[in-house]
């Protein structure tokens, strides 16, 4: 097919099944192939697009008004953009918020993020829920000229996330000390509190606000690369080990992460806490398996039931794989489940201070129902 040109429709979203959606481009120009998912959060689009867990993915926002409060450096969860691009219904407007430092489209362009507006995101979301997360290409050209057949071919050539160890691409290359507490109205980021416990946080794609919540709970946080060994962790003399969120197939990352976690659990009395990919890493290290989900959980309004207390928490989630609860060994208790589909959302060991959750208790973006888990982690260190 020859290149098609439409100066009004300067973006394309091409799916591997041959579907091509035309829209108005914003942000960076270019083309990127990845897995297409949807996110139901009404706020926090900056936090979402800079969450390293979205590496290799294109995000469809179900909330129509994305970009209306602009962008600022305080709401970024990592140094570089993590997602590949954003699909929205309404074109971003001029910002209307006192915290805005620049328009959303300008921030997207600076971050290398591709945007397409004017898309029927409800139709797209229903399709993803029914058929699963497709491979797709998002493309933006100011001249409106596209070879749509080539874009579809590019989407079909995308290898997918199964078997992909993406943590290696987003982890810190060197160990460093984290400093800084959470954002507090009206002054911004809070200073560091007194440190009561030392924690090594293994970075599989850690969000900044998780590190801030650990510090707020009284932890001295040392951030370590994904391939850090058990011996290197022990040498730092921590009281706790934290396993961060991150992207990709947990089984691929677990090839080197699970042996380290297993050694820490079996040879020390150290408290261990995992979130998201860290939850999956812990599950795999303890003998469970993980499975690819149809359309995953992405949003800030997911109800999760604590099976031990009976309480329901509204949580923030971002994951396309899940721990298979049926494969948990007898030494591990399932503690939380999703009230959307019954999938596993938490576990703990029966006889050791080791636990994890699938969701994001740091609430960035999202509700703060689960902040208590950081205090539970500190208490588990004794």
* Known catalytic membership, residue 360: yes
Q: How far apart are CA 63 and CA 365, in angstroms?
A: 14
Phi, psi of 152 (to 5 degrees): -60, -45
* Dist CA 218 CA 241 (whole Å): 14
What sign does the dihedral 248-254-260-265 (CA atoms) show?
positive
135, 140, 295, 360: the active-site residue = 360
The Cα–Cα gap between 357 and 243 comes to 11
- The single residue of 37, 219, 276, 345 carrying the catalytic annotation is 276
Question: In angstroms, what CA-CA distances link 15 with 113, 126, 289, 350, 357?
Answer: 18, 15, 30, 45, 32
Matching residue, tokens 């290149």: 3
- The CB-side HSE value for 216 (13 A sphere, CA atoms) comes to 18
Distance CA 215, CA 181 (A): 6
Cβ(274)–Cβ(242) below 8 Å = yes
Q: Which helix (H) or strand (E) holds 255?
A: helix 250-267
Taking the C-alpha atoms of residue 97 and residue 84, their distance in angstroms, rounded to an integer, is: 25
Residues 298 and 296: their CA atoms lie apart, in Å, by 6
State yes or no: is 195 an active-site residue. Answer: no
- Residue of 77, 215, 313, 362 marked catalytic: 362
**Is 362 labeled as catalytic in the residue annotation?**
yes
Q: Catalytic residue numbers?
A: 276, 360, 362
């Amino acid at each position: 097919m020859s290149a098609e040109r439409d100066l009004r429709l300067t973006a394309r979203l091409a799916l591997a099944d041959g579907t091509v959606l035309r829209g108005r481009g914003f942000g960076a120009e270019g083309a990127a192939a990845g897995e297409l998912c949807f996110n139901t959060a009404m706020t926090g689009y900056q936090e979402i697009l800079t969450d390293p867990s979205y590496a290799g993915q294109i995000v469809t926002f179900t909330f129509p008004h994305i970009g209306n409060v602009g962008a600022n450096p305080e709401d970024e969860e990592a140094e570089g953009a993590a997602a590949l691009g954003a699909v929205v219904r309404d074109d971003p407007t001029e910002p209307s918020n006192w915290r805005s430092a620049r328009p959303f489209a300008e921030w997207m362009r600076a971050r290398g993020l591709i945007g397409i507006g004017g898309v029927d995101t409800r139709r797209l979301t229903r399709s993803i829920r029914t058929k699963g997360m497709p491979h797709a290409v998002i493309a933006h050209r100011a001249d409106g000229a596209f070879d749509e057949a080539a874009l579809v071919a590019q989407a079909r050539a995308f290898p997918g996330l199964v078997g992909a160890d993406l943590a290696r691409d987003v982890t810190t290359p060197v160990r460093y000390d984290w400093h800084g507490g959470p954002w507090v109205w009206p002054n911004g980021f809070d200073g560091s509190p007194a440190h009561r416990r030392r924690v090594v946080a293994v970075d599989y794609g850690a969000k900044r606000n998780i590190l801030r919540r650990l510090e707020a709970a009284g932890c001295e946080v040392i951030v370590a690369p994904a391939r850090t060994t058990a011996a290197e962790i022990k040498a730092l003399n921590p009281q706790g080990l934290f396993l961060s969120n991150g992207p990709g197939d947990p089984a691929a990352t677990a090839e080197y992460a699970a042996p380290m976690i297993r050694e820490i659990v079996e040879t020390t009395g150290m408290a261990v806490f995992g979130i998201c990919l860290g939850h999956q890493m812990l599950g795999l290290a303890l003998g469970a398996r993980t499975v690819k989900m149809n359309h995953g959980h992405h949003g800030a309004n997911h109800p999760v039931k604590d099976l031990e207390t009976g309480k329901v928490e509204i949580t923030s989630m971002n994951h396309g794989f899940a721990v298979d609860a049926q494969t948990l060994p007898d030494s591990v208790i399932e503690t939380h489940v999703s009230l959307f589909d019954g999938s596993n959302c938490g576990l703990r060991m029966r006889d050791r201070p080791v636990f994890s959750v699938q969701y994001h208790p740091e609430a960035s973006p999202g509700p703060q129902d689960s902040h208590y888990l950081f205090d539970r982690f500190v208490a588990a260190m004794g």
